[in-house]
Structure 1
């Protein structure tokens, strides 16, 4: 319906559901009016402005397909790519430019792009550009284009701001609105809609079971925020699904890698924000899941419009939490739907299996036998010469976690006193405990007689200080005249004993045997005898002085002849009596 008017050169406003072919409606008319390319024509004649980078790529591909016989030169410009290839293409000459407002104005400011010969201007998804705050940029682009031009606005939803913009910049536009014969609202009739009231902690389990439904193809899951998008993608990847995320915090190369892998079937689940809800046309999308409730009716229409395109059918499932019921009732009322009171649903609810055709007994984890997708890593990421910092994904995928590099062996250095030693430097001999010579000469193979002799010999008990005990035993054996203390005390005054030379043990310097060392009885025979128990002597009990005893008493210097000093109150009373007595005598005498 809009194609004859567009071929006639009239300004128009096209409104139709998603997936009805709006791109070809304005693309064919633009290419037909521009005609075949010429060698002396280098400035563009057609301009298409889109809100997102993904939509710019898709519109360019559709225009290249439509201009296959004409050979028109179509250039795509958007942010996130290097400037040099775009500048070289502009110098070589183009016929149609498809781009986002920001990069278009950058090229105009650098004087690489001239819009003075544009005869056809198209604003695709114009309402979305107003939502993103592109209205000042759009007005600047309108001022750079000649007044004699054809202007077309296309979108699935047409708010009042678009109508006001059309009155200002369009010349007697014609509003073309395509509706279904049944008179339904803006939603696609081929899409079966399901709205459930679900709990936040149970939604990921429902999605895991939904992705195992019979006949499911490609699936898109929409989230409200970038952080929620990364979280859902990571959890689905942990459950075994081939998934990728698309949102604004990722680099342009990563976003295009995810979309290519989704189109090629290397992944079957795409988790995205509303950046992928506009104009993205991907075949075989059978299910759309609104993981977070949409903010308004227009967002809901564009989200569920990713499925059921070009006459196909699809299923759209929307999760509404308890605190989002008021928002959903507004959307339901604006679109005229029948889901004012969503049904309370959990992952174990029977209607989840019946309405989505999920096999009984399915859990939220994909079995290993069904994990046949190649995954996102199988799609090569293209080097686009991205400007700015390269952003990474929120979490690592399974294949990235498995390919961890091996740890390098740790290089140890020999140091002494903070200085590094050479390889041929003599190593310091460690201090070891004394070992019997018999134990050192034990052969590697024991005879039966040696085993019986070792079993008959009583074992020595290990004390707390084994090295010191063995050294003291040997010293006492060699010097029997040294007296052995039988009482234990912490410290005694009589410690004048002859020092005993001992072999090197854990202590660096041999110390004399004092009273605080452990007591060991002299060993006359190989058998070990238990030393006698020490006799504890109680020290003299010291009774402290009474705290109430008089330590110092001051002498009494007063005598019997001394008068007691009057108090202040008694002095005041004495003064009053004297004043009264004196006054009375004066009155009597007068």
Structure 2
């Protein structure tokens, strides 16, 4: 084990570390701090919970001890993917730099621009920020990055997951090329490797554990839930939490909406729980985290926004309510427990719908967690699929049982069966009404057999024929009326033009040439006039 006093830190910094109660450095700290103090670029790869924050905070404090900050020109820049992680880094600087005159500022979303600009105008030595808010200040002209001597990128693989890589590339280009870069990540996907090759200068690679490996101090347990119904999963979670009786625990869900539902379910059943995710107000998120750190809150239900970098050493249990979409997130989630040499327990709920995701997790960590058998009665929680769903292959559909469907039918009036029985009667009535309708006395000549025409042409012929047949008889001598010739057969794709007629032939205008045949029929009362 390496002592902090053997790493070359200044007496002021060593005293600040001793005041926090730490005397022995972790492997990543023991290897990264001397390299950073020597002025070389660092590429640190270590699993979460191994002390990466102190590995770059302590050498920065020592190297910035001499010098003076300028207005709007920070000397050191620390980039973090989430607000919570940035706030944690700021807390570390405040704790370890208390014996120095160094100043720092935190630039994160959800906080007033005005307060942050006042700090920048006074000048800060260390600027801790999320990528989006940092670039917002830069575009407003409130920040200059030409004086940055040290650039730290924390949780780089999380930056990739959140889509911040273009912003990180832009920040690298806005800072001076001659700077010292400390780059830390738990995993090294190809995109992160490309970024380090492009912007780091001969970095010293420090890898204290294989990428995406779990902490040996964490006991991993598997709980199989026989149904994917959310009711069954929430029942299993409550049973596990009650059985484990955690001092403090974090429940991880994949979706923000699920976070709220699970937190409400736990609170309704008497558990001390609260939700935290990206859609909540920043002040509420900070208060919830503060309560969890102090022990005032026992169970934190979170999305993956809290899965990275949060240093809460006292977390005893982690509950994976959902199997993560990305297998790497499983490592980061369970890394919230078993920190700083402590032991921890991590549960993962697996349903039949999670087979693919679970297989990826097993492949990544190289082992299968031990199965924990819990005594749960799923009778009232598991929804049985309907026969129709089985035939169509829909499987289980929560909240759609036959009883519920029948109740809805009764509330709405007649059910499907009643409507099916009533349907034939409606058809009979409709048929009688059609038969009782008066027929026009004008006889129609039978149409000779001929080749079947397209539908549009048949409609036009029928309309033209009925126009002639249903014309009212106004004079006794039909020979006095001018003969009305049948219009020529229209050519497909060409609309014929009819000459306007002044006589009242009771035609309906406004439909062009495609006039419905029933509109061209004469009213029944006109057909009775014979004299």
* TM-score normalised by structure 2 residue count: 0.62
Over residues 170-198 of structure 1, what are the superposed CA-to-partner deviations in whole Å (9 max), with x where a residue is unaligned? Answer: 1111210013xxx8971011000001221
Does structure 2 conserve the Cα–Cα contact (< 8 Å) formed by 1:46 and 1:121?
yes
Pick which of 60-69 and 86-95 moved more.
60-69
Residue 222 of structure 2 is matched in structure 1 by 195
Does structure 2 conserve the Cα–Cα contact (< 8 Å) formed by 1:192 and 1:314?
yes
User: Counterparts of 2:158 and 2:375 in 1: how far apart (Å)?
Assistant: 35
Following superposition, the deviation at residue 96 of structure 1 comes to 0.2
1:76 aligns with 2:103: no
Following superposition, the deviation at residue 257 of structure 1 comes to 1.4
Residue 344 of structure 2 is matched in structure 1 by 314
**1:244 maps to which of 274, 294, 311:** 274
Following superposition, the deviation at residue 40 of structure 1 comes to 5.8
Residues 123/316 of structure 1: CA separation in 2 closer, same or farther (3 Å cut): same
Residue 122 of structure 1 is matched in structure 2 by 152
Report the 3-state secondary structure (helix = DSSP H, G, I; strand = E; otherwise coil) of the residue aligned with 2:78: strand
User: Counterparts of 1:6 and 1:303 in 2: how far apart (Å)?
Assistant: 28
1:6 aligns with 2:36: yes
Residue 555 of structure 1 is matched in structure 2 by none
1:209 aligns with 2:239: yes
1:257 aligns with 2:287: yes
Does structure 2 conserve the Cα–Cα contact (< 8 Å) formed by 1:286 and 1:313?
yes
User: Counterparts of 2:199 and 2:33 in 1: how far apart (Å)?
Assistant: 21
Superposed counterparts of 1:378-527, under 5 Å = none
Residue 438 of structure 1 is matched in structure 2 by none
1:218 aligns with 2:248: yes
**2:48 maps to which of 18, 25, 43:** 18
1:348 aligns with 2:382: no
Superposed counterparts of 1:85-104, under 5 Å = 85-104=115-134
**2:142 maps to which of 112, 119, 128:** 112
Residue 560 of structure 1 is matched in structure 2 by none
User: Counterparts of 1:304 and 1:154 in 2: how far apart (Å)?
Assistant: 19
Residues 40/316 of structure 1: CA separation in 2 closer, same or farther (3 Å cut): closer
Following superposition, the deviation at residue 214 of structure 1 comes to 6.0
Residue 278 of structure 1 is matched in structure 2 by 308
Residue 299 of structure 2 is matched in structure 1 by 269
User: Counterparts of 2:311 and 2:137 in 1: how far apart (Å)?
Assistant: 28
Report the 3-state secondary structure (helix = DSSP H, G, I; strand = E; otherwise coil) of the residue aligned with 1:285: coil
Structure with the higher fraction of residues in helix conformation? 2
Residues 264/206 of structure 1: CA separation in 2 closer, same or farther (3 Å cut): same
Larger radius of gyration: 1
Report the 3-state secondary structure (helix = DSSP H, G, I; strand = E; otherwise coil) of the residue aligned with 1:94: coil
Over residues 288-337 of structure 1, what are the superposed CA-to-partner deviations in whole Å (9 max), with x where a residue is unaligned? Answer: 00000012221000000000000001100001110211221122012201
Over residues 88-124 of structure 1, what are the superposed CA-to-partner deviations in whole Å (9 max), with x where a residue is unaligned? Answer: 0011110000000111001011111111110110110
User: Counterparts of 1:91 and 1:314 in 2: how far apart (Å)?
Assistant: 45
Report the 3-state secondary structure (helix = DSSP H, G, I; strand = E; otherwise coil) of the residue aligned with 1:143: helix
Superposed counterparts of 1:365-376, under 5 Å = none
Report the 3-state secondary structure (helix = DSSP H, G, I; strand = E; otherwise coil) of the residue aligned with 1:337: coil
Residue 134 of structure 1 is matched in structure 2 by 164
User: Counterparts of 1:214 and 1:111 in 2: how far apart (Å)?
Assistant: 53
Following superposition, the deviation at residue 38 of structure 1 comes to 3.0
User: Counterparts of 1:178 and 1:210 in 2: how far apart (Å)?
Assistant: 33
1:143 aligns with 2:173: yes
Does structure 1 conserve the Cα–Cα contact (< 8 Å) formed by 2:43 and 2:205?
yes
Does structure 1 conserve the Cα–Cα contact (< 8 Å) formed by 2:240 and 2:374?
no
1:327 aligns with 2:357: yes
Structural RMSD (CA): 2.0
Following superposition, the deviation at residue 63 of structure 1 comes to 1.3
Residues 313/197 of structure 1: CA separation in 2 closer, same or farther (3 Å cut): same
Does structure 2 conserve the Cα–Cα contact (< 8 Å) formed by 1:126 and 1:162?
yes
Residues 283/40 of structure 1: CA separation in 2 closer, same or farther (3 Å cut): closer
Runs of 5+ unmatched residues, structure 1: 350-363, 365-590
Following superposition, the deviation at residue 210 of structure 1 comes to 2.6
**1:301 maps to which of 331, 342, 356:** 331
Over residues 344-367 of structure 1, what are the superposed CA-to-partner deviations in whole Å (9 max), with x where a residue is unaligned? Answer: 955439xxxxxxxxxxxxxx9xxx
Residues 278/214 of structure 1: CA separation in 2 closer, same or farther (3 Å cut): closer
Residue 186 of structure 1 is matched in structure 2 by 213
User: Counterparts of 1:240 and 1:173 in 2: how far apart (Å)?
Assistant: 52
Aligned residues: 345
Residues 25/344 of structure 1: CA separation in 2 closer, same or farther (3 Å cut): closer
User: Counterparts of 1:112 and 1:42 in 2: how far apart (Å)?
Assistant: 7
Residues 266/192 of structure 1: CA separation in 2 closer, same or farther (3 Å cut): same
